[in-house]
Structure 1
Amino acid sequence: MGDVQRASPSDLTPRAIADDLRRLPVHHEHYADALMVAHLIVFDLGLSIRSGGGGAILPSILINMAEVFEGYMRRVLADGLSNDGRIEVKDGNKGGDSGAKVLLFDPVQEGLKNPDATPDIIIEVDGKPSLVIDAKYKAAPNVPDRSDVNQVIVYGERYGTARVMVLHAGRPSTELCGSIGGFQVYNGMTNLNATPIEDEEAAFVAAVRALL
């Protein structure tokens, strides 16, 4: 997005946005709804549902906040740990060079479907997985839910990492819950309501760096 410039006041008028909508290529007509929603957000507009005398047909947009939270925390860690060339933050939900998705069973019984292991964040040190993190967009409990712990333990075993974390969007700090066999299970937390959020991000990066 480095080539995207800030909009001038004349670019943000209703007429300018309407002109943009009319100029959309046929294969980009689906951009229209997104642009209309962006217009409402930029101008802090909304509907007065208690008033009468008019009607409106507006587009809607659904945002999967769980995916947003995962991507946000992955980016926070990637940026915060980028000054150490030994460390690489990868997305376990996809394959390829930037991803770390693997098959769950190794080997698998012949004839059976082999599902993917898809932890949200894999942190590698010197090319080897060092920490598995699975993000949960919910308030942080004192102890992660049993099903979430079971999930990260499986990921830890599959990726060969001794430290695993369930990451929540809640109160600050990161705590060691305890050990299960050869695994240390951490309750990761970041407070999305913190002000300034940059300090909260830096604190979480420091907590993760200490585990690597």
Structure 2
Amino acid sequence: MQHLSLEGQAGSTQFAAYLLDMNKVFELFVACFLASHFADDPAIQVEIQPDIWLDMDRQEKGIPDIVLRRDGRPYLVLDTKYKTFRGKPEEADRNQMVTYCHTLGLPRGILIYADDHTINHRADFKGIVLRAQSLALHGSLDTFKERCQQFALQFAEGI
């Protein structure tokens, strides 16, 4: 395979197909980037897919993508979406985040979309503020790195 690369079209060299779950790739990228960004701050911990019990009988489990903790206490829940934002969060995504916020006792949660358009959506659900925003994946590597740094900085304060 020397001097060959994969393209989005058929060519003369056979290659076994493979599939990447881009939802999972985006989720893990955001989580690992935030964990790396806050690695030197002992007050902030990044939990990746922690199990949380949604009910008192501990029968219904939820698995949020990312929970940010300050000094061991949750202060923000994040959920990643590798899809285009269409004006407002889909009902299932919204309900899931409101449930996570309620269960964790948090007043806010953020849906993060892999969308090239700027998103600044905010809705208040009886004391729980749900925001949606984007992390654009386009541009040069240097531009993307800077965008990721700015993205992470906002979470230090819990918005």
Shorter-normalised TM range: 0.7 to 0.9
Cα offset, 1:173, TM superposition: 5.3
Match of 1:43 in 2: 4
Q: How do 1:193-208 and structure 2 match up within 5 A?
A: 193-195=138-140, 196-208=143-155
| 1:67 and 2:24 are equivalent in the alignment | yes
**CA 1:59–1:180 in 2, change beyond 3 Å: closer, same or farther?**
same
5+ unaligned residues in a row in structure 1: which ranges? 1-38, 93-99, 109-113
| 1:107 and 2:57 are equivalent in the alignment | yes
Tell me the secondary structure at the aligned position of residue 36 of structure 2: helix
**CA 1:70–1:47 in 2, change beyond 3 Å: closer, same or farther?**
closer
Structure ID, larger Rg: 1
| 1:143 and 2:88 are equivalent in the alignment | yes
Match of 2:97 in 1: 152
Count of matched residue pairs: 157
TM-score of the two chains, using structure 1 as the length reference = 0.65
* Amino acid of the structure 1 residue aligned with 2:57: P
Cα offset, 1:163, TM superposition: 1.3
TM-score of the two chains, using structure 2 as the length reference = 0.85
**CA 1:208–1:188 in 2, change beyond 3 Å: closer, same or farther?**
farther
Q: How do 1:1-212 and structure 2 match up within 5 A?
A: 39=1, 43-44=4-5, 49=10, 57-92=14-49, 100-107=50-57, 114-171=59-116, 175=120, 177-195=122-140, 196-211=143-158
**CA 1:91–1:133 in 2, change beyond 3 Å: closer, same or farther?**
same
**137-146 vs 121-130, which deviates more?**
137-146
* Amino acid of the structure 2 residue aligned with 1:84: D
Conserved? CA contact 2:88–2:121, under 8 Å: no
Tell me the secondary structure at the aligned position of residue 56 of structure 2: coil
Cα offset, 1:82, TM superposition: 2.2
- Cα RMSD between the aligned structures? 2.5
Question: Equivalents in 2 of 1:47, 1:179: separation in Å?
Answer: 43
Conserved? CA contact 1:176–1:184, under 8 Å: no
Question: Equivalents in 1 of 2:132, 2:8: separation in Å?
Answer: 41
Tell me the secondary structure at the aligned position of residue 5 of structure 2: coil
Cα offset, 1:207, TM superposition: 2.1
